[in-house]
Amino acid sequence: MDMRLSNRAVLEVRGLTKRFGGLTAVKNLGFDVNGGEIFGLIGPNGSGKSTAMKSVMGIERPTSGEVIFEGENVAGLPAHKIARKGFGMVFQHSRPLNRQTVLENILVALLPDSLFMLFPDKALVERAKWIAERVGLGNVMNRRPPTLPFADLRRLELAKAIARDPKVVLVDEPFAGLTRAEVDIFSDLIRSFRDEGRAVMLVDHNVKSVAALVDRVLAMYLGEEIVTGRADEVMKNETVRRVYLGGAIETHARPETSFKDKVPLLQVENVSVFYGKAQALENVSIHVHEGEFVSIVGLNGAGKTTLFNTISGFLPYSGEIVRGGDRLRGTSPAKIARSGLVQCPESRELFGEMSVRENLDLGGQHLSDDKRAAQLAWLFELFPILKERQGQMAQTLSGGEQQMLAIGRALMMQPQILILDEPTLGLAPVILEQLSKALTKLRQTTSITVLLGEQNVTFALPHADRVYVLEHARIVWEGDPGRFAAEAGADFL
Amino acid sequence: MSTFFTSRLFFISLALVVIAATLPLYVSGYVLGLLTVAFYFGVFAMAWDLLFGFAGEVNFGPTFLIGVGAYTAGILNAQFGWSVYPCIVLGALASVIAGLVLALPALRVRGPYFGLTTLVAVLMLQNFIVVFADLTGGEIGLTIPDVITIDAGANYWIALGFMTISAAILYGLSQSPIGLVLQASGQDPVQAGALGFNIVKHKLAAFIVSAFFSGLSGALLVFYFGTASVGTVVDVAVGVNVIVSAVLGGRRTVLGAALGAIFLIVAGEFLRPTGELATFIVSAVALLVVLFFPGGFLGAALSREARS
């Protein structure tokens, strides 16, 4: 049956709304997906795209609205019933059965929802083998998941999702964590689902990464549709551009000689760190003046987080770390943080089940009541959204809000030196702009010394007075951000 | 599944059962008695592992299921004079019904709350037994007039046979398609749901199977002991022993749970000369295994195999 001939869409979504308490994650969303079409649901972090997909699949129960599959409204049914009607979902994070083989993992997806099947059917095993071949797992069928590379684990997720020949395939961030070559292979696989007449729906952060793959795109922001259309049309849309694209890089470096301290506030001298046999830092030397804003740029795995954790006292090292004339070696991480060298870690480490306000109060726990109140008032001026969200549980915030809370909590400790480790990780450009403004304000109105680790150069450069480039555990470049593009930018831009 | 009959695990298990079956020919009645109890405990632990290892639900109250089975069988025999075998069957059925009544509401709550519900159930059962002392024998315990047999060897063989059959069924179930689905639901309920599996239905089934074997084993145990008392089949401490056995033997292995139970009971007995210290030493060993080899005896071996 060629579903492209039928004039009714396989999947019709009408007025889909999902509320979590007072937060409306998806607001009155509507779209159609036809058989033989790849439809993209695109939006920055916290825009509600994942919630929309989960509501279609029945993992989240929609607050209102209709999800019509081949003329039947399935909204409100539990996920397992929706799945049996002809839906398959490819999850981004997989937790395969590690004691079973790849083939057995695929077999699980083929089993009926019955308590009376004690022996798997021969036909099912044959079908599982066929699916394994189909997604390129033919050679590793009898291996167990822990021995497989990441890309093969993603293939396994695809295999499970299409096992029972669904008419609608939902894919959550199809290319997360894949290399460029793997992206091509996965694109071909997803196209082949379309060519078999399935309706494919993708969820992703930005249009560009899926532009070559999708037939139509719905861009959403803050739970609502901005525009629906072909990828190139959507990319031209004014609102989409404003949501996504930051400005050109402007740098505002202050020369190093303008900082008054003769001996830098923080000196890292010839520091080396090993994880077992692997060297994570090799003779790294950096210095930071009082009030200076220093960015350390480097790709994933270059050693940024290791450097910050070493400075914060979490790791054993050789070499010296000197702050204000005192060697930090032997000082506990808690003491270092309390004395004003505060790290806001990459993983944020919020207290998820505490409210926003409680997280902030914990940061300012050592302050007297009126000082804490003053610090809080100043912080709410810097991040107004946190004031609105005070009573909300931290884990229910969007990614961008969580990052602001993490920075806010660090600032409540009244740091002299603030270490920000990859604050932009996984955030949409609109959030970056807000963060960027906050950093500008921080730089202009306070004397806080900032050490920023980033792989996003467009975010790291505008604020920086000085830049270090960290590559494979070593500092390979140091200098003025204005010279960065010419001398070291090739690897990043 | 078919590969199991040619696997090393099968031959090792077979050899162990054959050796165990010959024990009455050359060991004392004292050792046989000890192992008889250990085998019934082995079934408790295996039934518990089906829930924890596969369905991913921590049942803190295994003795609720065991106790209902044991006391139902005991009361029917002692108070109503029913003969032994109907009592055993009804004990197992009562346990299934009690398990169903407990699990239906309890499976609706997630994570630690399920465990807490099961724990409260044990306390309620314990209280019920003490309050309705006329029926249940109260704190002193219930004396049971009938036994299956008084021959130590026969009792031993019954227990061994029962454990072997239970192990075969529970292990088979864990390796069957149902076991796979259960394992998937335990690990990632969201994905299992999206693959089209009714997770509550599967977990409920696992709970019923677990209840059946717990209750059956509990009923058999009272007819071996000749008494039913809170301290032997209901107390929270007994439940903790069952849990520790299963974790010691290895989560998600079923057979390991039986090994763990036998180890725990035999070790406790060997250390009896140390008096009060015995429980302490056994608990310390268990704690060390849980802390440093969380996979347990069999789990460590199996996961090494999985990585290779």
Predicted pLDDT at A246: 42
Sequential pLDDT tens for chain A (493 residues): 444 445 578 999 999 999 887 678 899 999 999 999 999 998 866 678 889 999 999 999 999 999 999 999 999 999 999 999 999 999 877 788 888 899 999 999 999 888 887 787 888 999 999 999 999 999 999 998 888 887 888 899 999 999 989 999 999 888 876 767 788 889 999 999 999 999 999 998 767 778 889 999 999 887 889 899 998 888 888 887 766 654 456 677 888 878 878 789 999 999 999 877 677 899 999 999 999 999 998 876 678 999 999 999 999 999 999 998 899 998 999 999 999 999 999 888 899 889 999 999 999 998 899 999 999 999 999 999 899 999 999 888 887 889 999 999 999 999 999 999 988 876 766 788 888 889 999 888 888 999 999 877 778 888 899 999 988 888 999 988 888 877 776 555 4
CB B208 within 8 A of CB B99: yes
- 């009244």: which residue's tokens? A414
* Whole-number Å distance between alpha carbons of A123 and B308: 29
Of B176, B188, B197, nearest to A80 by CB-CB distance is B197
Contact A117 B172 (CB under 8 A): no
Of all residues in chain B, the one with the smallest CA distance to A84 is: B196
Q: Which residues of A89-116 are buried (b: 16+ CB within 10 A; e: fewer)?
A: bbbeebebbbbbbbbbbbbbbbbebebe
> How high is the pLDDT of residue A460?
85
pTM over 0.80: no
- Please report the pLDDT score of residue A237 as a whole number: 85
Partners of A160 on chain B (C-beta within 8 Å) are 191, 195
Average confidence (pLDDT) over B5-31 = 88
Whole-Å CA distances, A326 to A266, A303, A320, A419, A447? 10, 24, 10, 19, 21
Separation in Å, CA A299 to CA A44, A205, A399: 22, 20, 21
CATH code of B28-236, in short, is 1.10.3470.10
Domains of chain A (ranges; CATH) run: 3-244 (3.40.50.300), 256-491 (3.40.50.300)
Binary contact (B177, A97; C-beta < 8 A):
no
The stretch B35-48 carries a mean pLDDT of 96
Whether residues A113 and B199 touch (CB distance < 8 A) is answered with no
Contacts of B212 in chain A (CB under 8 A): none
What does the pLDDT look like over B204-221, one tens digit per residue? 999 999 999 999 999 999
CB of A104 closer than 8 Å to CB of A141: no
Inter-chain CB proximity B178 and A83 less than 8 Å: no
Position A1 scores a pLDDT of 42
Please name the member of A89, A99, A108 whose beta carbon is closest to the beta carbon of B302: A99
Residues 6+ apart with CB under 8 A from A30: A13, A14, A15, A16, A225
| Torsion from C-alpha of B78, B82, B86, B92, nearest 10 degrees | -30
Chain B contact for A118, CB < 8 A?
A: yes
CA distance A162 to A145: 18
| Interface check A101 vs B, CB under 8 A | no
Residue B174 backbone dihedrals phi, psi, to 5 degrees: -65, -25
Please answer whether residues B247 and B239 qualify as being in contact, where contact means their C-beta atoms are separated by less than 8 angstroms: no
Q: What are the structure tokens assigned to A38, written together?
A: 């790849």
DSSP state of A249: -
- Closest CB to A80 among B183, B198, B307: B198
Q: Which of A134, A193, A180 is nearest to A159 (CA)?
A: A134
Residue A223 near residue A47 (C-beta atoms within 8 A)? yes
Res A422: pLDDT:
87
- What are A43's two structure tokens? 């939006």
How far the first Cα of chain B sits from its last, in Å, is 20
pLDDT of residue B306: 53
How many CB atoms are closer than 10 A to CB A323?
21
In this prediction, residue A429 carries a pLDDT of 67
Residue in chain B nearest A162 by alpha carbon: B195
A137 vs A159: CA distance, rounded Å: 9
Hey, are the CB atoms on A83 and B195 less than 8 Å from each other?
A: yes
In the prediction, which pLDDT does B34 show? Answer: 93
Task: Compute the average pLDDT of residues B166-193.
Answer: 92
pLDDT at residue A340 in the model = 92
Distance in angstroms (rounded) separating the CA atoms of residues A415 and A361: 15
Is B254 in CB contact (< 8 Å) with chain A? Answer: no
Q: Which residue of B has its CA nearest to A113?
A: B197
- Phi/psi for B46 (5° steps) reads -65, -45
State the count of interchain CB pairs (< 8 A) between A and B.
89
Residues 146-175 of A with CB under 8 A from B: 146-147, 160, 163-164
Averaged pLDDT for residues B217-230: 95
**CA-CA distance, B238 to B256, in Å (whole number)?**
19
Q: Is B307 in Cβ contact with A147 (below 8 Å)?
A: yes
Q: In this predicted structure, what is the pLDDT of residue B304? A: 62
CA A214/CA A234 separation, integer angstroms: 12
In the sheet where A72-73 sits, what is the strand order?
A23-33, A11-20, A64-69, A72-73
**pLDDT at residue B110 greater than cutoff 90:** no
Directed axis angle between helix B152-175 and helix B199-225, to 10°?
A: 170
Instruction: Please tell me if residue A99 touches chain B, with a CB cutoff of 8 Å.
Output: yes
Rounded to an integer, what distance in angstroms lies between the CA atom of residue B247 and that of residue B52?
9
d(CA A347, CA A197): 41
pLDDT on residue A151: 83
**Cβ distance of A83 and B184 shorter than 8 Å:** no
Q: Which of B193, B195, B302 comes nearest A109 by C-beta? A: B195
B141 dihedral zone (left: phi>0; alpha: psi -120 to 50; beta):
left
Task: Classify residue A244 as left (phi > 0), alpha (psi -120 to 50) or beta.
Answer: alpha
The minimum CA-CA distance between A191 and chain B, rounded to whole Å, is 22
The one-character DSSP state at A393 is B
Is A122 an 8 Å CB contact of chain B? no
Q: Please, which residues have CB within 8 angstroms of residue A134's CB and are 6 or more apart in sequence?
A: A159, A162
Buried b (16+ CB within 10 A) or exposed e, A37-52: bbbbbbbbbbbbbbbb
**Residue B305 pLDDT level (bands cut at 50, 70, 90):** low
Q: What is the dihedral of CA A225, A227, A232, A233, to 10 degrees?
A: 180
* H-assigned helices in chain B: 8-22, 29-49, 62-80, 84-106, 112-131, 133-136, 152-175, 177-187, 189-194, 199-225, 230-233, 236-249, 255-270, 277-292, 296-307
Q: How far is A441 from chain B (nearest CA, A)?
A: 43
Instruction: Report the relative pairing of strands A266-275 and A318-323 from DSSP bridges.
Output: antiparallel
CB atoms within 10 A of CB A118: 13
Quote the minimal CA–CA distance from B210 to chain A in Å.
Answer: 15
Q: Which residues of B touch A113 (CB under 8 A)?
A: 196-198, 201
Sheet of A216-221, strands arranged across: A87-90, A168-172, A199-204, A37-42, A216-221, A224-229
User: What pLDDT is stored for residue A24 in this prediction?
Assistant: 81
A224: left (phi over 0), alpha (psi -120 to 50) or beta: beta
Question: What is the structure's pLDDT at A3?
Answer: 45
Cross-chain residue pair B177–A120, CB shorter than 8 Å: yes
Q: Contact A117/B176, CB-based, under 8 Å?
A: yes
H or E segment and range at residue A278 = strand A278-288
pLDDT tens profile B43-61 = 999 999 999 988 888 899 8
List pLDDT tens digits, range B128-157.
Answer: 999 999 999 988 899 999 888 889 999 999
The tokens describing A383, both together, are: 């991040």
CA torsion sign for A338, A340, A341, A343 is positive
Cβ-based contacts of B195 with chain A (< 8 Å):
80, 83, 108-109, 160, 163
What is the overall mean pLDDT for chain B? Answer: 90
Q: Give the residue on A whose Cα is nearest the Cα of B171.
A: A118
Would you call A59 and B199 a contact, using CB atoms and an 8 Å cutoff? no
Which residue ranges make up each domain of chain B? 28-236
Cβ within 8 Å, pair B1-A120: yes
